[in-house]
Amino acid sequence: MRQQSFTMAEAIVALMLMVLVVNLFGLVMGSYQKLAKIDASEPTNWYLFIDELESTEHRFELVKVTSNNIILYSEKSGKPYRMQKNKDDTIIFLSVVGKGGYLPLLEGKLHKLTWQQLDQRRVRFTYTGGRHEQTAVVCFAAPSN
C-alpha cells in the first residue's frame, strides 16, 4: 500500500506562498509605522494638531498655561485635560487629569515646540524644527458659566 505525501512541486508552491505572506506582512507593518508617526515638521500634521485643539468636537477651554503643560477643560466631555510633552521631548500628548491613558498629538524633536499665552483664550504655538518655522495662534472656546 502506497502512502500519500506531498510532491516536490506542492512543497515549493507552499513555500512560495509563505514567503509571499511574510513579505506582505512586512510591507503593511512598515507602512503602518510611517502612518502612525505624527511628525511635527510636516505642515499637514501641524495643521491637524492645531485643528484638534480648536475642534468643536472637544470645545476646549483654556484653564492654565505653564512652561511645561497646558490645562484645558472640555465642555463636551466635562473633563479637564493636560497637554504636555513626554520626558524626552519626543511626543506631545493630551491626557485626562488624574486618570490614565493619553492621546498623542505630535511626535518629533519637540524641545523646539514652544507655547505662550496671549490672553484669556489665546495661545501662540511655535515649532522651529524641520524645514521651516511654523506658528499658529489657537483661540480656545469661551469659558461656560
Q: Do residues 74 and 89 share a domain?
A: yes
pTM for the full model?
0.67
Residue 144 lies in a domain: no
Q: For residue range 53-72, what is the model confidence (pLDDT) as tens digits? A: 888 888 999 999 998 889 99
Alpha carbons 144 and 19: distance in angstroms, whole number: 59
Residue 114 lies in a domain: yes
Q: Which domain holds residue 127?
A: 43-139
Instruction: State how many domains the chain has.
Output: 2
pLDDT of 117 reads: 93
Most confident of 28-37, 58-67, 81-90, 104-113: 58-67
Q: Do residues 11 and 66 share a domain?
A: no
Q: Do residues 21 and 74 share a domain?
A: no
pLDDT of 99 reads: 79
Q: Do residues 91 and 72 share a domain?
A: yes
